[in-house]
Structure 1
Amino acid sequence: MSGTKEVWVRADEGTWDEYRKPRITTALESGVDCVLVEESDVERVRELGKIKVAAFGDNPMADVIVIGKRGEGDGTLEFPVDLGRSKDLETLKELSREGYKVASYVIIKNKDYERLAAELAKASDYLIVIGTDWKVIPLENLIAELQGYDCKIIAGVKDADEAKLALETLEHGADGVLLDADDPAEIKRVMGVVEEIEKGRVPLTPAKVIQVKQLGMGDRVCVDTCSLMETGEGMLIGSASDALFLVHAETEESPYVASRPFRVNAGAVHAYILVGDKTRYLSELKSGDPVMIVDRDGRTRDAVVGRVKIERRPLILIEAEVGDRRFSTILQNAETIKLVDRDGNPISVANIKVGDEVLVYLEEGGRHFGMKVEESILER
């Protein structure tokens, strides 16, 4: 689970002209990510505008095929005694094999349906969960259980307050919400909630490592902060101002050295570090300066530099690519220096190899004196 928060609007009930079309039109005008409709309405939605369409049924024209309504997910079909023989699960697996994006839809009526949701999610791109008399606990359980699975959790909500609760549950929160409300203003309020939450995030992207090269000696920078960091947290560092690697904090014990959870061994003195919406050179940092801590989900928080240590150490170059973009960073060559892999786990530079994927922050345009500008700048 990862990525920016999504807002879906539900428009599968009532008549087209009175209920479904107005919701879809408002969704389009508000910039939501997706509408959920019946399979018969997919083409109607396309005629109204360009938006991602999820549909109950098996319409191959939908962007996401949703399984569970009129099935086991909403209790229409008998609950499967053996979850491994779930009819909804078989359908999801078959559609996935055929190359379709799929979502499982489950109304959490009790603990058994929570178990069903977790099982179906493991074969789905999305899990849509609708609460009955619950608000938080089943969602917390599902978020915790599905960590490490490539499935986004979309929580059903009725208003902006419920949306905020769902999106912030267990800090990570649901990956998105499915709003079921007729009031157009409620859609706009939910979009506002998401915008406020996303202000404290940066988008992280998996990049494929294409070169690992040991270098000679050089000056590297350790940034010791006045804050304690946790597993999954670090700082965004790189040789190019528009392509920064998530360098992990020294939070883990090792046979070589005790953990230093306040420290990021950030890299060579020439490298950039992202601080808010600007970059700075590592060599410029000093005690009392602000820095930005980033976690594997892209959440950010502020910290203060306690001290900066610049020492001569052996270096290693890590080069990676996303599409046709190539970029690199230079770090100290030591087992305790780590990047973050695509699943959010720390990976030592001593173990990184070509083909591995690590998290990076990419942006368009260049920077002038650390400030983002819309121009072409090539840094090699």
Structure 2
Amino acid sequence: MKLCWLDVRESGPARDAIVEEAVHQRVDAIVAADPAELEGLPPTVRKVLFPGGGDLPADLGSVDLVVVDGDRGRVAALAQEHPDVEFGRFVEVVDADTLEEACTAARTERWTVLLFRDPTKIPLEIVLAAAAQSTGNIITVAQDVTEAEIIFGVLEHGSEGVMLAPSAVGDATALKTAADDRPPALDLVELKVTGIAHVGMGERACVDTCTYFRQDEGILVGSHSKGMVLCVSETHPLPYMPTRPFRVNAGAIMSYTLASGERTQYLSELRAGSKVLAVDVKGQTRVATVGRVKIEKRPLLSVDAVAPDGTEVNLILQDDWHVRVLGPGGTVLNSTELREGDRLLGYLPTEDRHVGYPIDEFCREQ
């Protein structure tokens, strides 16, 4: 779980409301310049004192961690003076020398807070690589929530945390959402094929993403919002064309697919920049960004299946041998070779949908 630090040193009149929101959202730390501003916070929130380049106050109060703007020697000396308080080091990266300081701090300090003045993320990548074997925590300053999302993903694993100075109430909630944006696993079920029919021509969508799928991954697609089939990516070899490991030949354009947050979208709605949920045969998920969607007229095949609880599932996909779905254990099944009794992997969302959002209301799809 990524760490969220909220810097309230310059929050002004909105400070109390921002802190109240932060506590409610269970942010990991509140950062202040005065120990008095950290009094009264619950034990669930780390109390971080960041006085800048000035001297520390004589009484640190209930402070848990002090971030020091200075060299390693100063950090070590202060830690000896205050053995009951953790200390970390702040480094502002502006050139090659300060970048090397940041790398050293990240390798040696328990806590390192970094501020990068230039918009490029290359220096952060260098620090993360340099500290890959260390056990410390790197907290990177973000200017806004959008930058925080990027920082969380640099070199795939990103910084351990982000420190953000909120500009208004709501920023703490947005930051926490960005940090927790790791979709949960899904409980996949085995579906039994009950019928197959050629249904003529229609538009189908190939979803090309900005990521490589594994051979046991795909996206969930279905004609109904309460039942979907796991359509595999084009990662498996084909005799007449190269693999397209970023692509899922998903299904007819009116089909649902699952995006993040349990929201569904029609395949026809996906655009460059849209998000879809990549799902593997164990139900593990990750968010994939759509690069483009190719919609073309092709012959279509309708596949009916039933879940163990009796839920009926339908998938309309391209009627062609190289279009495939996944079965139990990662078995790859060509659409044109499906037969009644075959087993597919699928997912059964429990709620109906309104404009893609889960909603508890009566809705019949047939």
**Larger C-alpha radius of gyration, 1 or 2?**
2
Q: TM-score, normalised by structure 1?
A: 0.46
